[in-house]
Amino acid sequence: MKKVLSIILAVAMLFSFAACGNTTDNDVETTVTDSAYVADNGKLVVGITEYAPMDFLDENGEWTGFDAEFATLFAEDLGVEVEFKVIEWDNKFLELEAKAIDCIWNGMTITDEVNLNTSCSDAYVKNAQVVVMAADKLANYADVASMADLTFAVESGSAGEAVALDNGLTTVGVTAQSDALLEVASGSADACVIDITMANAMTGEGTSYADLGYAVELATEEYGVGFRKDSDLTAKLNTFMAALKDDGTLQTLADKYELTLA
Amino acid sequence: MDQFLRVTGNLLEGFGMTLQIFAITLAFALPLGLIISFGSMSKFPPLRWLVKTFVWIIRGTPLMLQLIVIYYGPGLAAKWAQSLGSSFFLIDWIASWTLMERFTAVAVSFVINYACYFSEIYRGGIESISKGQYEAGQVLGMTKTQIFFKVVLLQVVKRIIPPMSNEIITLVKDTSLARTIAVYEVIWQAQAFIKRDGLLWPLFYTAVFYLVFSGILTLLFNYIEKKMSYFRS
């Protein structure tokens, strides 16, 4: 009993020490801004996935794409190197908070989830969610009302899932948009809801999904760049983005990758 | 054919990572597991409880969660400590934590996880050796250490080969969890083909790599078991 008591007292003392430190040194401590942190590291670590046309490898094994070029320009403006890191998309907010990456810049739809977990930039590109199904069935399903009996594969937590649920569709959650396509191709789901950019890149001739297609667009959405909460880089990117829009650089980039600016 | 070679090359690169995780885990977890098993059989109760609690925590939580805690944990703890703004030495120390390399985090998580599983297999093996073996050693005037290493250990090794080979083959497949923290092993490489090229078959093709490797391991364990058959116990 005495032993237990002494351990409890020792722990209590430790905490009271911590409390002391807290009161005396609170105003001495200065927080390092996020831009200073990145400048100190000499590089901006950009969290991405392979996602054409935003981020993909060219024939030399270098990262390219709309987001890759845009991020490189921003890093140049900050005076640091850019480093692309392919991450597990489910863990993007963990990666960001733990400083394994400095921003999420990968055609990320601005949603409530993104706004809650990051300090998100202004929208830079627009996208739409489309219903992909077997190309020969497209004519039978011209609008959402006719799709009430179908099962839809969606990426869990994706904008596509949110849109499908808003429209009262029956959904099955999978871990990636590419898996949603696989569900449709294998026949375990009737259709899926994915990005128009993804649908353009992954369906049609020359892919494993040559006999899939889309006709119905459900919702338009906007892409943003996620920085750590309270980061000063968000404001810097917004200013930089406005300048690139004014001088037409961003429009040229959007034309190159067939995207629509927000 | 060109595509097949390109896919095979990429998957082999991924499988190289798989093998590295496998080899490092075995190299460190096998001895560490033995040490942990001594701890869980210790005659000093506080140490025994501590070790048993640790083994309970590690065996009772998913390896995927352990990977996330070990890789992201230090960064998140540092952020929290910085937000306290205290200069108490412990808080200060935590605030200075940075992330380790992704591969190091994988190695640490796998070694700790597998050492705990191995320790229970060792414990089972050691406790199954009859008292008579120890008594015979004592009669011959051997010390405790001599009895353990010269009499008991080899018999333990023979008995634990079947459960060990089970666990080791599980390890081959568990390495695929490393992709949770973006360590690019063979399944990650295969999934990249789905995302990038719309190719599904590389994912199924990875099974060949796992099967060949676990086949080799199975043969190896059969061979070792035969070699050990001179202990008729």
Q: How confident is the model at residue A4, as a pLDDT?
A: 56
Helix axes A66-78, A249-256, angle to 10 degrees: 150
pTM, to two decimals: 0.74
**CA-CA distance, A252 to B198, in Å (whole number)?**
28
Closest Cα in chain B to A23? B86
Span A129-142, mean pLDDT?
Answer: 90
Kindly write down the DSSP assignment for every residue of B16-53, as one continuous string: HHHHHHHHHHHHHHHHHHHHHHHHHT-SSHHHHHHHHH
Q: What is the residue-averaged pLDDT of chain A?
A: 86
CB of B72 less than 8 A from some CB of A? yes
CB of A136 less than 8 A from some CB of B? no
The sign of the CA dihedral A207, A216, A55, B99 is negative
Give residue-wise pLDDT tens across range A167-196. Answer: 889 999 888 888 899 899 988 899 999 988
- Topology (CATH level 3) of domain B2-230: MetI-like fold (1.10.3720)
Domains observed in chain A: 34-126+222-261 (3.40.190.10), 127-221 (3.40.190.10)
Pick from A146, A110, A111, A112: nearest CA to A131: A146
**CA-CA distance, B185 to B175, in Å (whole number)?**
8
**CA-CA distance, A123 to A215, in Å (whole number)?**
25
The answer to whether the Cβ–Cβ distance between B76 and A85 falls below 8 Å is no
DSSP secondary structure code for residue A61 in this structure:
S
Pick the residue of B49, B82, B195, B197 with the most A CBs within 10 A to test the interface with A by mutation: B195
Pick the residue of A64, A92, A97, A177 with the most B CBs within 10 A to test the interface with B by mutation: A97
For residue B61, give how far its alpha carbon lies from the nearest alpha carbon of chain A (Å).
18
**In the block, residue with structure tokens 């200013």:** A239
**In Å, what is the CA distance from A74 to each residue of A59, A77, A246, B166?**
24, 5, 15, 51
Give residue-wise pLDDT tens across range A20-74. Answer: 444 444 444 457 899 999 999 999 999 999 888 899 999 998 999 999 999 999 9
Is the separation of the CB atoms in A132 and A181 below 8 Å?
yes
The answer to whether the Cβ–Cβ distance between A85 and B184 falls below 8 Å is no
Query: Residue A98: which of B76, B180, B184 has the nearest Cβ?
Result: B76
**CA-CA distance, B68 to B45, in Å (whole number)?**
32
Residues in B touching A86 (Cβ below 8 Å): 182, 184
The sign of the CA dihedral A141, A142, A144, A145 is negative
Per-residue pLDDT of chain B (233 residues; tens, 9 = 90+): 789 999 999 999 999 999 999 999 999 999 999 999 999 999 999 999 999 999 999 999 999 999 999 999 999 999 889 888 888 889 999 998 989 999 999 999 999 999 999 999 999 999 999 999 999 999 999 999 999 888 898 889 999 999 999 999 999 999 999 999 999 999 999 988 887 777 889 999 999 999 999 999 999 999 999 988 776 65
The answer to whether the Cβ–Cβ distance between B88 and A97 falls below 8 Å is no
